[in-house]
Chain A
């Protein structure tokens, strides 16, 4: 069975801290790995990773994929209260269209 597992499930830190969120996967047909941020409603796209070892960066957020060890990490440096959200990792299995299998998410809380 295709599986995506995120850890930790919940994380509480202080503003300014750096956090690392983990995502491991076991799937039959890997096409890409995606990270989304979900605050109140719609998950919003952060990164798509297809190749191992190439870091993707957007401001204080960065992510990297290891296709040999089957995991990805999402780093957030100098966290702000606005970073508080659920971060979702998903693997695209692609079956004629994108078929995302999601992890259960990491709930990140940034305290001032």
Chain B
């Protein structure tokens, strides 16, 4: 019964390709997030969606486009992948107005060659 699940767990691809990462949560939360963890282990927020609406959009290249078809899903599409995109991408969810703890998925390790 995984609470926040991401697929794939590992993604190895060539520069210039387009790829997607999918995220689903079964916690009944209304808010979902994408975080990026770089090689130095810093976790940084990229996007946040509340009930399918974009709430937080940090300074992220336009090549990154999140899509939320419903409040249980938040996908991340990346165009024209670059070497610097290599990182671990974490999806997370929380309930605004509730206990507001973020629950994280297990991450997608993206390697761009």
- Enumerate chain A interface residues (CB-CB to B < 8 A): 32, 34, 36, 41-45, 48, 86, 88, 90, 92, 95-102, 104-105
Contacts and interface: CB of A to CB of B under 8 A. Distances in A.
B44 A41 contact: no
5 smallest CB-CB distances across A and B, nearest first, come from A97-B48, A41-B106, A102-B43, A42-B104, A96-B55
Interface residues of B, number: 26
A95 B31 CA distance: 12
A34 B99 CA distance: 12
The A interface, classified by DSSP as helix, strand, loop or mixed, is: strand
A42 B41 contact: no
A97 B50 contact: yes
A1 to B, nearest CB: 12
A35 to B, nearest CB: 11
B5 to A, nearest CB: 10
A34 B31 CA distance: 18
